[in-house]
A and B are shown apart, each in its own frame.
Chain A
Amino acid sequence: MNQSDLPRKEATVLRGHEGAVLAARFNGDGNYCLSCGKDRTIRLWNPHRGIHIKTYKSHGREVRDVHVTADNSKLISCGGDRQIYYWDVSTGRVIRRFRGHDSEVNAVKFNEYASVVVSAGYDRSLRVWDCRSHSTEPIQIIDSFLDSVMSVCLTKTEIIGGSVDGTVRTFDIRIGRELSDDLGQPVNCISLSNDGNCILASCLDSTLRLLDRTTGELLQEYKGHICKSYKTDCCLTNTDAHVTGGSEDGSIYFWDLVDASVVSKFQAHSSVVTSVSYHPKDNSMITSSVDGTIRVWKT
């Protein structure tokens, strides 16, 4: 991918959230996006046409993360009310509520088959919930973290969690093994590369670190942005050629994956960028910010 192909032009601004938007995520095919924020709502948008489609309300406090199944039929969301809501997308009704986290839930993800939900909480645990049965008890609690778990990623066989204790822990279900990669700095977001071989971890020392998953080796560090106290997301572009992330001053950074140079940097929001999500196929990106907007970026 060329540098000129990076999405730098603002295509649409999605307004509607009252207060900070905490996360914005593309769905599986990138045609829609979901956002959630401090106004306790989850919103479904068509980012390409700039249309607000639906609002999901039920959370009692801010919604911190949202994820949608691959077939776009179900949503999962979590937030400050310590609960995880399992939604039906079309009707907007809550199918189930998972309670059990002792405090705020920071992140939530479906697995590949949407049979299981993994949530990461401030209570230093990852909890796995079953969507198939009617039980609302977690089927597994992973409590080896020493501090708040901020982010979770799932592969077909693994659960990966990033925590403020500075570790990125990979739980391999197939082998029954936990790999703990201590980065020495609080990790507030992790994201998988598209080939699944690397983890990008955003640390609170204003550094993004790229780890090789097989060896645990530090491949590269990306610096320049500010990330000291907020949970700001980072991700790789869909070609894995660049690394992108938001900064607390409202700008978006693009780094070259290999030589870690800042390829592009522009002011996107007036306030902290909370979340970035890259389109799975096109050169397009959405960012959300504390200023209450979600912006769609295209080339």
Chain B
Amino acid sequence: MDSDEEDFVFYGTPIEREEEITSRRKKSIAEASGHLRTLPPWKQEVTDEEGRRRFHGAFTGGFSAGYYNTAGSKEGWTPQSFTSSRKNRAEVKQQNILNFLDEDEKTELEGKSFGTSSEFDTFGFTAAELARKQAEKEQQQRPSAIPGPVPDELVLPATESIGVKLLLKMGWRRGRSIRDSHADSLYESRREARKALLAFSSDDAKTQLTDSEHGESHLESSVEQPVNDDVQSSRSTPVYVLNPKQDLHGLGYDPFKHAPEFRERKRSRLSDNRKPGYSKALSMKESLFGFKSGKVGPGFGIGALEEYDAEDEDVYGTAYDFEDTIVQEVEVEEPSGVTKDRRPRLLGKEQGVLPGFIVASKSDYQLERFDPPAVPKNFVPHHKFSGPLETNKKFADPPPPEVPPPGENNMKLLIDGVATLVARCGKLFEDLSREKNQNNPLFTFLTGGNGHDYYARKLWEERQKRNDQTMLAMDGKSSLADQKMTAESRGKLLGEKPLERSSKDLSSSVASENAIHMQYNLSDTFTKSASYSELPEIIKPFKEDPAKQDRFERFLKEKYQGGLRSTDSGKASNMSEAARAHERMDFEAVAEAIGKGKHGKESLLSTLQFMGVSPAGGMQFTSGGLEQAKDAQAENLTTKNTYPRREEFQWRPSPILCKRFDLTDPFMGKPPPAPRMRSKMDSLIFMSDSVKPTKLEESDAVNKGPYPTPQSDAQEMSKIGETEVEVKVEVENVERPVDLYKAIFSDDSDDEAETFDHKKVVEPEKKIEVAHTALNHLRAGDFLESLGKELGLEVPPELPYLMSKAKTPAPQKEITNAVAKTPVSGTPVDRAVLQHRGTTQEGESLKKTFIPGNSQSSGGKFRETEEDARAKSPSSRNRNRSSSWSSEDERSRKRSRRHRYRSSDSYSDLSGDDRDRYRSKSKGRKKGSSREKSSSSRRKHNKHKHRDSPSRSYNDAEGKKEKKKRRERD
């Protein structure tokens, strides 16, 4: 064995044999009695009778340590999770102190508990307890009709308590009150004595006394009476209410209040269950003074003549009692169901409403009455129309009945003619003709004779017609007759001048100014004129200067008449903007004065006089007296008139905004709105000195491109000096950036990019230079973007066109920094500039390539501008569209073309290796472009972000550019 054991390795603990266990037990017993006692306490081991070790340390026993030791359950202290499912209900354990006690503790507890022995069971409690327990046990053993525990009252003490025994020995009988009967007599005697005293004190009281004595005797008799057995028995102290609450109703609630028959049934059932013979006997009413009901019930044991004490009064029991008796009576008298039914119904009627409901004393529901609105005392029920009074009034005239024209044709014609005249010239004409032709038999219709009705009708018709016309003239709305009106005819009717096509000479300064004016005009074209009908008589305050007078007249016309304003650019151009503005102010003031003058002839005269006095071409009102005040007033008025000024634009709410406001989107399914006109102020600001800000802007734009890239090799670094100069030169060249877009967008140049040849290259130098700059940005941006992609960088956008192409991560500060320290930022500029050396054609093609990308990115103003640009030349638009679909091929083709142009570019001053470098870059660009499509989805996002970009000055620049563009287009 031993050798075997040495050879084998054993896993686990060997199963102990039976004999071993028994031997261990023996050993343990032996130890317990023997030597273990000698060991110190911390070395002793506690074992159970089996000899197993009991108390474990915290780390040796674990949960099971408590298995046999403390918790007398299988689980011990092992934590459990409570689970209960629908199918497998967890049993709710009623916990008891005994559950947590060990056997020995239980026995100990048993021994410690006190109880009175039956001998000294004064109140019979112990006996009752025992009896109840017995009954319970019995019930559990045999099935019973009544579920649940046996009611206490059913189980009566089996033995007579010692107290009862004593009382009985003292002469007390069951059911009787323990109260001393002599107490009453004592009280009586005392009263007697008092009465006697009273009787002695006064004779008068004698009658009273007899009276009271009489009453007393009555009382006494009534008191005496109950001294029969019956009454005496009822005199015993009321047993504590033997009607424990066993139902689940609220306190005082009686479910049988209106259905007593059910109560009766229930009770009978109960009583049947309890003591069959007993309760039935008692439910019979044998005598008035007997037990009302043998069992439970309020007022049990209270004699009929005994006074109710506060304690005795059963607050909740009265109704019960009442009902009870009634039911009992009913039951006794007529045990038929019909009468039983009648009762509750009657009761119900007494209540007035449905059983169980009570009529509310005050109802919440009240009819709300609203007083009619109070009419102010000074209110006249007549509506006044504020608009053009006459026409409205006439309009409102009720039409006279239609009358057939009189027989004679002459008469009809005459009437028609007069009616037309009267309608045109007014009532005055009618009166006049009436006076004149009083005796003329032909004109009797005027005075109410033959044909008057027809005349009236005709007149009304004429007036109506006239009104229509005036309305039409005023509103410019086409009436039924003018439904087929063309734009020109309408314009003519309204006095508009047909829009002239702007001159195609794009390089001239006049054109740009013209464009500005155009916008100016357009914005003012449809302003409502101040008054429709009355043109102020033309007064000539500037007689000396015919040109000025001419302008003044035109101004007046503009002021009082609607329609497009003509601006003679030739005349206007030789005046400075400031002078023109000044003159305009002047005209305004004069017109004001004239307008005022019309109201009072006096002032008109004075104005005229004043005008005459004022020197030739007087710019200012150097006025005296009356005029002074008037001038100030006029000025005040002008400011008041100019402000507030209302303008209306189209605005497109986002669909989700409409949804959130619970409104339908007015632009649902419509293309994006047209670009909105900026206010005149903008164009004016940038008109005269547009060069400066644009120059800044351009340089900004150029410098924005060179967002510092980490790749700045030494070779490029060395170039910085020159490139910086180059950039400067480029910027200087930008003289009229306004024209730059025109050069790109205008019709003729737009037409054929494909067949573009070197002819165009020989165009005026300025234009080309301008186009260069445009190109520079375009291409720089494009190039940088592709470069950035290659390098995995984000490149700031360059121009609005490129906006969607890239995101601008560089804050403004950084840009300025970049501008300041050129060494770093210069390198990309270098590249950009290298690339810039292109031709107009290239710009053209480049631009085209951008468009598709942009149109994909969609949304906002930029797209609109494109669309506009495209709209200018349908052919190019078509091409663009195609390019947008096959942008990839097209782009690559164009790129190759660009190379071709590059080689033939006469303006290129690049050195050979520079060009080479460019080529290599462009190759890279090609590579980058294949990724373009995938990034187009990203663009959208970028653009969105861009709009929120924190650099405001950048936005400014952008805005300005936009403005310029728009102006250009106009």
- The residue that B663 contacts in the complex, of A103, A128, A146, A173, with Cβ under 8 A, is A173
The listed residue (B640, B650, B673) touching A218 by CB distance below 8 A is B640
A contact residues around B647 at 8 Å (CB)? 179-180, 182
Do A180 and B642 touch across chains, with their CB atoms under 8 A apart?
A: no
Q: In whole angstroms, what is the CA distance A173 to B679 when docked?
A: 22
Do residues B654 and A176 form an inter-chain contact, with CB atoms below 8 A? Answer: no
Count of chain A to chain B residue pairs whose CB atoms are closer than 8 Å in the complex = 103
Give min CB distance, A249 to chain B, whole Å: 26
Q: Is A134 an interface residue (CB 8 A)?
A: no
Is A177 in contact with B649, judged by CB distance below 8 angstroms? yes
B648's nearest neighbour on chain A, judged by CB, is A179
Do A141 and B640 touch (CB < 8 A)?
A: no
B601 within 8 A of A: no
Residues of A within 8 A of B658 (CB): 173
A183–B780 Cα gap in the complex (Å)?
Answer: 44
Contact A218 B643 (CB under 8 A): yes
Determine, out of B551-559, B719-727, B945-953, the stretch whose residues face the partner at the interface: B945-953
> How distant is the Cα of A119 from the Cα of B667 in the complex, in angstroms?
23
Determine the distance from Cα of A38 to Cα of B644 in the docked complex, in whole angstroms.
34
- Indicate if the CB atoms of A116 and B644 lie closer than 8 Å: no
Contact of A291 with B by CB under 8 A = no
Q: How far is the CA of A100 from the CA of B661 in the complex (A)?
A: 21
- Decide: A171 and B653 in contact? CB cutoff 8 A: yes
Cα A244 to Cα B830 in complex, Å, equals: 63
- Within the complex, which residue of B643, B649, B664, B676 is in contact with A184, where a contact is CB–CB below 8 Å? B643
- Whether, in the assembled complex, A30 has its beta carbon less than 8 Å from a beta carbon of chain B, the answer is no
User: Of A103, A139, A179, A217, which is within 8 A of B654 by CB?
Assistant: A139
Known: A173-B653, A177-B648. A183 touches B660 (CB 8 A): no
A193 to B82, CA, bound (A): 65
> Which residues 635-691 of B sit at the A interface, judged by CB distance below 8 A?
639-640, 642-654, 656-658, 660-664, 666-667, 673, 676, 679
Across the two chains, which residue of chain A brings its CB closest to B948?
A100
Contact with A along B940-970 (1 / 0, CB 8 A): 0000000110101000000000000000000
Contact A102-B650, Cβ < 8 Å, known A113-B662, A139-B656, A184-B642? no
Q: How far is the CA of A209 from the CA of B644 in the complex (A)?
A: 10
Minimal beta-carbon separation of A101 from chain B (angstroms): 9
> Is B660's CB under 8 angstroms from A130's CB?
yes
Contacts of A139 in B (CB 8 A): 654, 656-657, 660
A181 to B656, CA, bound (A): 26
Query: In the complex, A132→B661 CA distance in Å?
Result: 12
CA distance A177 to B650 in the complex (A): 5
Q: Is A28 an interface residue when CB atoms closer than 8 A count as contact?
A: no
Residues 148-193 of A at the B interface (beta carbon under 8 Å)? 156-157, 168, 171-185
Q: Contacts A157-B663, A176-B652, A182-B645 hold; do A128 and B950 have CB atoms under 8 A apart?
A: no
Let me know if B648 and A180 touch, CB within 8 A.
Answer: yes
> Given known contacts A144-B649, A174-B663, is B644 in contact with A216 (CB within 8 Å)?
yes
Q: Is the CB of A180 within 8 A of B660?
A: no
Interface mask (B114-137 → A, CB under 8 Å = 1, otherwise 0): 000000000000000000000000
* Among candidates A132, A175, A183, A184, residue contacting B666 with C-beta atoms closer than 8 Å: A175
Residues of A within 8 A of B664 (CB): 174
Beta-carbon contact of B644 and A211 below 8 Å: yes
Q: Which residues of B contact A180 (CB under 8 A)?
A: 646-649
Asked if B657 and A173 sit within 8 Å, CB to CB, the answer is: yes
Are A216 and B654 closer than 8 Å at their CB atoms?
A: no
Contact residues in B for A176 (Cβ distance below 8 Å): 650-653, 666-667, 673
Instruction: Chain B residues near A181: list those with CB within 8 A.
Output: 644-646
Report whether B644 and A132 are in contact in the complex, using a CB–CB cutoff of 8 Å: no
Task: Report A114 CB to chain B, min CB distance, Å.
Answer: 10
Q: Which residue of A113, A144, A182 contacts B660 across the interface (Cβ within 8 Å)?
A: A113
Size bracket, chain A contacts: 35 or more
A residues 204-220 near B (Cβ < 8 Å) are: 209, 211, 215-218
Interface residues of B in 811-849 (CB under 8 A from A): none
A193 to chain B, nearest CB (A): 16
- CB-based contact B660/A115 at 8 Å: yes
Q: With an 8 A cutoff between CB atoms, is A111 at the interface? A: yes
Closest A residue to B676 by CB, please name it: A144
**Contact between B650 and A140, CB atoms less than 8 A apart:** no
A18 to chain B, nearest CB (A): 30
- Residue A282 lies at the interface, judged by CB distance under 8 Å to chain B: no
Complex contacts, A175 vs chain B, CB 8 Å: 666
- CB–CB B947/A183 < 8 A: no
Closest-by-CB residue of B relative to A82 is B950
Q: How far is the CA of A141 from the CA of B947 in the complex (A)?
A: 9
A102-134 interface mask toward B, CB cutoff 8 Å, 1 = contact, 0 = none? Answer: 110000000101011000000100001010100
Min CB gap B238→A, angstroms: 56
Q: Which B148-182 residues have a C-beta within 8 angstroms of A?
A: none
Report if A130-B656 is in contact (Cβ < 8 Å); known contacts: A178-B649, A216-B644: yes
Residue on B with the closest CB to A175?
B666
- The contact of A128 among B643, B649, B657, B673, by CB within 8 Å, is B657
Report the bound CA distance from A81 to B561 in whole Å.
Answer: 51
- Please name all residues of chain B whose beta carbon is closer than 8 Å to the beta carbon of A111 when the two chains form the complex: 660-661
Residue of A whose beta carbon sits closest to that of B653: A173
Is B657 in contact with A116, judged by CB distance below 8 angstroms?
Answer: yes
Whether A123 contacts B661 in the complex (CB less than 8 A), given A173-B653, A182-B643, comes out as no
- A123 vs B948: C-alpha distance when bound (angstroms): 10
Contacts of B648 in A (CB 8 A): 177-180
Complex CA–CA separation, A218 to B676 (angstroms): 26
Q: How far is the CA of A115 from the CA of B648 in the complex (A)?
A: 27
| Bound-state Cα–Cα, A227 to B776, Å | 50
Per-residue CB proximity of B699-713 to A under 8 Å, as 1/0? 000000000000000
B264 → chain A closest CB, angstroms: 56
- Cβ A171 vs Cβ B651 within 8 A: yes
A180–B661 Cα gap in the complex (Å)?
A: 21
Query: Which single member of B643, B644, B666 contacts A174 (CB below 8 Å)?
Result: B666
Residue of A nearest to B643 (CB): A184
Q: Which of A172, A181, A182, A211 has the most CB of B within 10 A?
A: A182
B694 to chain A, nearest CB (A): 19
Q: Tell me the bound Cα distance from A215 to B648 in angstroms.
A: 11
How many whole Å from B246's CB to the nearest CB in chain A? Answer: 46
* Contact call A178/B644, Cβ cutoff below 8 A: no
User: Is there an interface contact between A132 and B650, defined as CB atoms closer than 8 Å?
Assistant: no
Contact for A182 among B644, B651, B667, B948, CB less than 8 A: B644
Central interface residue in A168, A175, A176, A217, by most chain B CB within 10 Å: A176
Asked whether A216 and B660 contact (CB < 8 A) given A102-B950, A184-B639, the answer is: no
User: For residue A103, which residues in chain B have a CB less than 8 angstroms away from its CB?
Assistant: 952
Q: Are the CB atoms of A102 and B952 closer together than 8 Å?
A: yes
- Of residues B661, B667, B676, B679, which shows the largest number of chain A Cβ atoms within 10 Å of its Cβ? B661
Contacts of B948 in A (CB 8 A): 100, 102, 138, 141
Q: How far is the CA of A209 from the CA of B652 in the complex (A)?
A: 28
Name which of A140, A144, A209 has the most chain B CB atoms within 10 A of its CB: A140
- Collect the chain B residues with CB atoms within 8 Å of residue A113's CB: 660-662
Assembled-state Cα–Cα distance A152/B653 (Å) = 16
Provide the bound-state CA to CA distance between A218 and B950, in Å: 37
Least CB distance from B633 to A in Å reads 16
Give the docked Cα–Cα distance between A144 and B950 (Å). Answer: 17
Cross-chain contact of A179 among B646, B653, B666, B679 (Cβ < 8 A):
B646
Who on chain B is nearest to A166 by CB? Answer: B643
Closest beta carbon of chain A to B352's beta carbon, Å: 41
16 residue pairs bridging A and B, Cβ less than 8 Å apart: A102-B948, A113-B661, A116-B660, A132-B660, A140-B653, A141-B948, A146-B679, A173-B653, A173-B657, A176-B666, A176-B673, A178-B648, A178-B649, A179-B647, A182-B643, A183-B643
Closest 7 CB pairs of A and B: A216-B646, A178-B651, A184-B643, A176-B666, A182-B645, A178-B649, A116-B660
Binding site for A on B (CB under 8 A): 639-640, 642-654, 656-658, 660-664, 666-667, 673, 676, 679, 947-948, 950, 952
Given contacts A141-B948, A180-B646, A180-B648, 12 further A-B contacts (CB under 8 A): A113-B660, A128-B654, A138-B948, A140-B653, A146-B679, A173-B657, A173-B661, A176-B666, A176-B673, A209-B644, A216-B644, A218-B644
